[in-house]
């Protein structure tokens, strides 16, 4: 399958521009003439009841949930995000969200890896810190003290990015690393680790393999073979450990890619079905309808107002 370019910060912000208000008290103003969506962006999302189509992106995203709950999906994992929750999402992830409450506010920090690599922590320390978060992607609900600390850092970032005084980017990099270290400490405090048991290790390896092979391998047997275990063992392990079927994770990842390609890929429905190794266009159509209740064309038309695909594919 041909790999599509990952979304940049600018493309993502433009896609989700409906979430932001002009002249905000916090963060950068998307509607200002001097707004630039590159390197680092800090925005205040106050749009309640919203949801986002799955997207792939090439930067880091750190979300501090102020109030309201949302369901956030990152690759194969779904998190119910509660108020005072802090989470880092890594480059290369496929991400979507759906608010589950009427009230909503999130501080949204987006930054490129290259932005924090220079003039900051040593490469060894930086890589170690980011590698920790790659292996441990859970969100953390901060206690009152740590939440206040996180809000304070975000507010300092907001002030620096608005004022743009001398060396403000250096200060911004330091503040980002403070957030990364705060989040790491909280994860360690709550004992979050990549793997605890053999069953969890199998599940982790299974989910990684899905991310690498979802577009061509669509059944449990193929993944069990790659793991060197029986399909029954894999199915039972995933069900007992993650409380969902192994097949549901495989199908869920395929659905996300179909949604992404329908809305952002600039590909015809026929091209998408072949890229994802469906035997026919009709087979992919039945697959999507089983999970989303609509055909690929219906899904594309419904979401075209917030998607960035070429209109020439609307009727294909």
- 149-208 tens-digit pLDDT: 999 999 999 999 999 999 999 999 999 999 999 999 998 887 655 456 889 889 888 988
Is 308 contained in some domain? Answer: yes
- 244-269 tens-digit pLDDT: 999 999 999 999 889 888 887 678 99
Same domain flag for 71 and 135: yes
Single out the residue of 28, 181, 174 nearest to residue 108, CA to CA. 28
Is 232 contained in some domain? Answer: yes
Q: What's the CATH code of the domain at 21? A: 2.60.120.280
25-61 CB burial, b ≥16 within 10 A, e <16: ebbbbbeeeeeebeebbbbbbbeeebebbbbbbbbbb
Q: What's the CATH code of the domain at 239? A: 1.10.10.60
Q: Is residue 118 within 8 Å of residue 126, measured between CB atoms?
A: no
pLDDT of residue 314: 40
Same domain flag for 169 and 230: no
Return the half-sphere exposure (C-beta side, CA atoms, 13 A cut-off) of residue 250.
Answer: 22
Domain boundary at 169, 189, 209, which?
189
DSSP of 208-255, one letter per residue? HHHHHHTTT--SHHHHHHHHTS-HHHHHHHHHHHHSS-HHHHHHHHHH
Same domain flag for 138 and 237: no
- 141-153 tens-digit pLDDT: 999 999 999 999 9
Its pTM stands at: 0.77
Same domain flag for 225 and 167: no
Is 2 contained in some domain? Answer: no
Same domain flag for 81 and 208: no
Considering its fold, how many domains does the chain have in total?
Answer: 2
- 84-117 tens-digit pLDDT: 999 999 998 889 898 898 888 999 999 998 888 7
Same domain flag for 127 and 249: no
Find residue 73's DSSP bridge partners.
78, 96
Same domain flag for 70 and 133: yes
- Sheet of 40-45: strands edge to edge? 40-45, 105-111, 60-67, 85-89, 140-141
Quick one: angle between helices 220-227 and 198-213, nearest 10?
120
- Domain of residue 252: give its range: 198-313
Same domain flag for 28 and 170: yes
Single out the residue of 181, 212, 208, 188 nearest to residue 88, CA to CA. 181
Same domain flag for 144 and 17: yes
Spatial distance between the Cα atoms of 123 and 81, rounded to a whole number of angstroms: 31
- 20-41 tens-digit pLDDT: 889 999 999 999 998 999 899 9
Find residue 41's DSSP bridge partners.
110
């Amino acid at each position: 399958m041909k790999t599509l370019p990952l979304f940049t910060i600018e493309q993502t912000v433009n896609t989700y521009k409906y979430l932001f208000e002009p002249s905000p008290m916090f963060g950068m103003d998307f509607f200002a003439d001097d707004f630039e969506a590159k390197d680092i962006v800090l925005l205040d999302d106050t749009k309640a009841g919203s949801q986002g189509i799955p997207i792939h992106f090439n930067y880091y995203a750190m979300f501090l949930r102020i109030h309201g709950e949302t369901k956030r999906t990152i690759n194969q994992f779904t998190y119910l995000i509660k108020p005072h929750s802090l989470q880092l999402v890594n480059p290369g992830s496929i991400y979507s969200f759906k608010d589950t409450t009427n009230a909503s506010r999130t501080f949204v920090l987006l930054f490129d890896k290259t932005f924090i690599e220079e003039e900051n922590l040593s490469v060894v320390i930086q890589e170690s810190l980011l590698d920790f978060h790659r292996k441990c992607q859970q969100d953390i609900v901060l206690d009152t003290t740590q939440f206040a600390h996180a809000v304070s850092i975000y507010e300092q970032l907001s002030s620096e990015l608005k004022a743009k005084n001398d060396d403000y980017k250096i200060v911004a990099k330091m503040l980002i690393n403070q957030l990364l270290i705060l989040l790491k400490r909280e994860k360690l405090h709550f004992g979050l680790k990549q793997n605890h048991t053999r069953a969890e290790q199998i599940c982790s390896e299974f989910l990684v393999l899905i991310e690498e092979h979802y577009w061509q391998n669509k059944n449990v047997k193929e993944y069990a073979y790659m793991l060197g275990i029986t399909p029954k063992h894999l199915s039972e392990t995933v069900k007992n450990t993650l409380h969902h079927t192994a097949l549901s994770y495989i199908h869920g990842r395929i659905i996300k890619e179909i949604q992404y390609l329908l809305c952002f890929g600039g590909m015809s429905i026929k091209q998408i079905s072949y890229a994802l190794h469906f035997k026919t266009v009709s087979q992919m159509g039945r697959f999507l309808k089983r999970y989303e209740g609509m055909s690929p064309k219906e899904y594309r038309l419904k979401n075209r107002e917030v998607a960035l695909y070429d209109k020439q594919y609307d009727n294909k």
